[in-house]
Structure 1
Amino acid sequence: MKAKAGKPMARRWLTLGEARRVLGVDASTLRAWADAGRVKAFRTPGGHRRFAREDLQVLLQRSRAPRPVQVARQIHRQGRTLARARTDPAASWYVALDEAARTSVGQTCRTLMNSLVGYLTGGARRRLHLRAGEQAGRRLGAVLAARRLTAAQAAEAFLHFRGLISEAVTTRLALAPEHQLRALRQIDTFLGRVLVRMLEVFAQPR
């Protein structure tokens, strides 16, 4: 639910600056959370956001110790939502792909997301999920190379995918800063390995 105009009840209301300090996030992140309905807010007649301290405390309690599987599933869901909304059909790498190749890339990216979810969940199968992600990276490289994309265009496509995942973590999930940082580090490790495997395909003679 987005921030709405209205008369505040008898609660302890905080400004945007005060609220972001309570949560330990920057102002743009808090605005995004309010717009996405992650935290309640109302607007003053002058258009300024106000946040109830009680709501912020509830948000902090929920984000203190999220289970890895919960974080992973949320990233998966939000990443897919962003992919549908943010892929630019005019991007050079996208234009270079025919419909069959786009379908193949989409399927491979879904495989990558599933492997990433497994990797973030942790446990004894983490290495298996990482290897599955690396294999998906090679398949992605093969599809893009077969369509005569350059390594630079392939990297652009991959960074688009990576950016969607990072955006899902930083603006769509109500995570405390330390949990957000941990998730981003794990994602960087996983996707870094995937990117290397994808680019190895372009280093081979064609």
Structure 2
Amino acid sequence: MDEWLSLSKAAQQLGVHPSTVRAWADHGYLPSQRTQGGHRRFRRSDVELRMHTHWESATPEAPSVYANVLRNTRVQISESNLESENWYRKMDNDAREQYRLSGRSLVQGLIGHLTSNGDGLDAEARSLGYEYASRGQRVGLSSVEAAHAFQFFRTAVMDAILSAYENADVRSPQIWSELFRKMNSFSDIIIITLLDTYEAIQHSSH
């Protein structure tokens, strides 16, 4: 009997964000069924088939592209690049490692935003904004320094995504326009939430 996978397990096996798997299911790219409770379930055989299927798509949404974005982001957030940032030099080793790992969360969130219809992604962007604010507070960064830290990772991730689209030879002006619109809207929510969270923390401490 074929094994059924949850949304998170299917996403883990495919190497993409759960939002991406949800979008693929919505568009019929990946068969799924729902439990009585409304949760999606995916056959392992369907997931494995998707892993080895050539993607005929107008936009680069394949797991391999996600892997390329993640790899390029790691290169751009290397220790040598981070050492030139004033906010980074203020941190201890544990805090530095957490910030480097945050690049992966941003990649997952942005890829999910680009490959889905947007359901639930505003909440995810706000969650990332809160995460960056909380982390900055814990290591003693000002709100401006925390914003600079986010902008550093945002630039690295966006550059990696743009490179992936260029390498995929995407030429449609509509696709590029949608790409920039979605990337900007997602990152705008994050930075606004970050600043709002700092302000709320400062007010609560008075």
TM range (shorter): 0.5 to 0.7
Q: Matched residue of 2:77: which SS?
A: helix
**1:65 and 2:65 correspond:** no
Q: Name the amino acid aligned to 1:118.
A: G
Cα deviation for residue 109 of structure 1 reads: 3.0
Q: CA deviation at 1:183?
A: 1.3
How many residues of Structure 1 are paired with residues of Structure 2 in the alignment? 143
Distance 1:168 1:191 in 2: 15
Indicate the residue corresponding to 1:199 in structure 2. Answer: 195
Q: Where does residue 188 of structure 1 map in the other structure? A: 184
CA contact (8 A) 2:59 2:165 kept: no
Q: Distance in 2 between matches of 1:149 and 1:69?
A: 37
What displacement does 1:82 show? 2.3
Contact 2:65 2:164 in 1 (8 A): no
Q: How far 1:180 moved relative to its partner?
A: 2.9
Q: Is 1:117 aligned to residue 111 of structure 2? A: yes
Which residue does the alignment assign to 1:164? 156
How big is the shift at 1:86?
6.7
Q: What is the CA–CA distance in structure 2 between the aligned matches of 1:145 and 1:79, rounded to whole Å?
A: 24
1:78: which partner in 2?
Answer: 72
Larger CA deviation: 135-144 vs 64-73: 64-73
Moved over 6 A (4+): none
Separation of aligned partners in 2, 1:66 and 1:170: 12
Describe the superposition over 1:10-48 as per-residue Cα deviations: whole angstroms up to 9, x where unpaired: xxxxxxxxxxxxxxxxxxxxxxxxxxxxxxxxxxxxxxx
- Give the TM-score of the pair, scaled to structure 2: 0.58
Q: 1:94 matched to which residue of 2? A: 88
RMSD: 2.9
Q: Structure 1 residues 194 and 86 mapped into 2: Cα distance closer, same or farther (>3 Å)?
A: farther
Change beyond 3 A, Cα 1:132–1:170: closer
Contact 1:75 1:165 in 2 (8 A): yes
Larger Rg: 1
Q: Which moved more, 1:112-121 or 1:161-170?
A: 161-170
Q: Secondary structure at the match of 2:146?
A: helix
Q: Secondary structure in 1 aligned to 2:82?
A: coil
Given candidates 127, 130, 136, the residue that maps to 1:135 is: 127
Write out per-residue CA displacement over residues 47-87 of structure 1, whole angstroms, 9 at most, x where no aligned residue: xxxxxxxxxxxxxxxxx922445696244443333223773
Unaligned runs of 5+ in 2: 1-56
